[in-house]
Chains A and B, each alone.
Chain A
Amino acid sequence: MPRGVYIEPYEENTDLMVVNMGPQHPSTHGVLRLVVELDGETIVNATPHIGYLHTGIEKTMENLNYYKALVCTDREDYLSNLINNTAYSMAVEKLMDVDVPARAQRLRVILNELERIASHLIWLGTHALDIGAMTLFFYTWRERDQILDLKEMMSGVRMMTSWICPGGLRGDVPAGWVEKASMFVEHFPVKIDEYDKLLTKNPIWIERLTGVGIISAQDAVAYGMSGPSLRGSGVAWDLRKANPYCGYEQFEFEIPVGTKGDVYDRYLIRMEEMRQSVRILKQALKDIPDGLVRTSDRKIAPPPRAELDTSMESLIHHFKLYTEGYHPPVGEVYAACESGRGEKGYYIYSDGGNMPYRVKINGPSLKNLQALPKLARGRMIADVVAIIGSIDIVLGDIDR
C-alpha cells in the first residue's frame, strides 16, 4: 500500500450486542437476570428481570392469621430476618394499639443491631468475592457464624427464628446470652479493622470502586432509594434517627453519609455502620431492664402455660389465640424499620377479620434495583458486578 493513501472506514456497525447475565450467575446475588446491551464494551442499557423467586408471600399471608403470618416475614429478606419480624410486629402492634414492655424493646434493639452486622458481613464477603478479593469471604462468614450461634442459643434456630412477634419477643434470652453477646461485641471491632486493612486503602479496590455507579442525591430520592445506597449520595436519612422506633432515641450513634455517591462511598458507609452498630450494642447490652418480654395484654399474647391450670380466662384466651387469633379493628397501618438495605416497611389493611386482608411488603431492594440502568449506563460489565454488590440486593425482598 503506497504511503499516504487514506482508506475510508466502513460504515459504523451500530448493532448492539446483547449479553444475558442469566438468573443463574455467581455475581448477581440471587436469581436476578440482567439483559445487558453493549456497544463495544460500554453498557448502553442494563435491564433487570426479576420474579424468579416470586413465591406469593403476600397472598399466603392473606390466608394465615396474624400470628402465623409472622413466619412468612422471616423469609423475605432472608439475610436480616429479625428486622423483617420487627417491622411486621410494629405494624400489627400499631393496628392493635398494644404497648411493648421495656425489656422487649431493648432486646429488639440488640437483636436488630446484631442482625444488621450479620447482614453487612454477608454483603462485605460477597461483594469482595465478586470483585476478586476472595479471602474476605471466609473471614466474614466466620464472624457471622458467631451471630448465628447467638440466635441459636436464644431460639434454637439459626436463621428463620420468628422470634420478634407482635407483643414483644416469643421468649426471654437464656442465662449467659448477654455475656456471650458482650464478648462478641468486644472482639468484633478488631475484625472490622482487619477487613479495613485488607481493602480500604488497597489500590486495586480503590480503582475498581471509585467513580463507579454514581447517582445524585436528587435522583436517588426520586427513585425511592433508601439505606446506604441513598446515604452514599449525601442524603442523611436513617429511620433510626428520623422516626425512631423501639427506643433508638436513647442511644448515641452517628449515621455515616457519603459525598460522591459512588460504590466506594457506599462501601465506606457500610463499614462505618458496622462500627456504629457495635457502638449501639455496647450501650444497649448494659443494664437491660427487667420485666416481661411479651406484653401481658391477653388479647394479643397468650398467657404462660402455668396459668392454664388454674384460670378459666387464661384457658379461653389461650384457646382463642391459638385457634382463631385476634381481630384488629378496621383500618390501615404502615410501619417501617431501617434494615441493612434501607426502609423495610409493612402496609397492613385490616377488615376486622383474624387474617390480614392485604399485606404489602415494602422492601428496599426493589426500589434500589430499579435505579440499576441509571447507575450502570456508560460503564463496563465488571462495573455492573461492583454496582450490584454495592446496592446490596436480596432477591427474596424483591420478588417475595
Chain B
Amino acid sequence: MVDFDVRLGLSPADLALRNIAIKRPEDWLDLSPEDDPEIRLVQENFASELIRSRRFRDEKTIWVRPAKIVVILTLLRDHPDTEFSFLSDLTCVDLLKVNEDETEPRFQITYNLYSMATYKRLRVNALVEIGQQIETVEGVWPAANWLEREVYDLFGIVFAGHSDLRRIQMPDDWIGHPLRKDEPLGGEEVEFSFNVRGR
C-alpha cells in the first residue's frame, strides 16, 4: 500500500517539520520523592536500578532495569506506603520502531499495578534486551502466571523460573512470535475480480 505521505505530496522537508511538531512529547514531568512514595522507595532502596520516571496525564510510570525486578515489586507490594496488592496487567511493548538505534533495549515489560487499599495505580516498566531473560513475578502475584505466558507466546521473552512457560494463545507448534514489530500482520488479500486466485 502506498504511504500516506507520498499520496499527500509531502516532501521530506515537510515531513521533518511535521515530525517535530507531533512527536515532541509534552513537557516531561519527573516524579518527585516528596509527593510520590513509590519513587521515594525505589530511589532509597534501588537507586542503581532506576532509569527514569514520568508523570503523564495524572499517571505515574517508573522505568527500571530488569535485574532486581522481583525485589522491587515485592517491596512495592508489601510496603505500607504503597501497598500495590493487585496486579492489574502485565504486558510487553516492542520498541523496535521507537528506538533510535540498536543499542537501546528492545522490549519493555509493563506492570500495571493497583492498590486495593489506596485505589491508586502505578506503572513499572522493565527494559529488556532481545535474548535477555527476566525473572518471573509469579511468586509476587499468582496472576502473573498466564500473563507472562502470553508475553512469552506473543513476544518471545523468556521468564526465568516460571512454572509452566509455554504457548497460550497461539497453537503449540507455531513458529515465531506474532506481536513483534518485525512479524507481518498476516491475513489474505481481498479477492476482487481482477485478482481472482487461480486464474
Contacts and interface: CB of A to CB of B under 8 A. Distances in A.
Contacts of B91: 347, 358, 360, 362
B111 to A, nearest CB: 11
Contacts, number: 112
Contacts of B85: 221-222
B146 interface: yes
Interface size class of A (residues with CB under 8 A): 35 or more
Contacts of A349: 93
Nearest to B118: A242
A222 B23 contact: no
Nearest to A330: B25
B72 to A, nearest CB: 18
A2 B150 CA distance: 63
A223 to B, nearest CB: 5
B169 A343 contact: no
A212 interface: no
A243 interface: yes
Interface stretch (A49-57, A123-131, A290-298): A49-57
Given A332-B56, A351-B97, A367-B146, A362 B88 contact: yes
B145 interface: yes
B141 A50 contact: no
A331 B143 contact: no
Given A95-B57, A370-B143, A343 B88 contact: yes
Interface residues of B, number: 44
Interface string A224-264: 10000000000101000011000000000000000000000
Given A221-B85, A221-B116, A334-B89, A56 B94 contact: no
B142 interface: yes
A340 interface: no
Given A56-B178, A333-B57, 12 more contacts: A50-B168, A50-B169, A60-B185, A95-B57, A221-B86, A329-B24, A329-B25, A333-B56, A334-B59, A345-B88, A357-B97, A367-B147
26 contacts: A54-B169, A56-B186, A222-B85, A222-B141, A222-B142, A223-B141, A224-B88, A224-B142, A242-B119, A243-B119, A324-B4, A331-B26, A331-B57, A332-B56, A332-B61, A332-B123, A333-B56, A345-B112, A347-B89, A352-B22, A352-B23, A358-B93, A358-B94, A360-B89, A367-B147, A399-B169
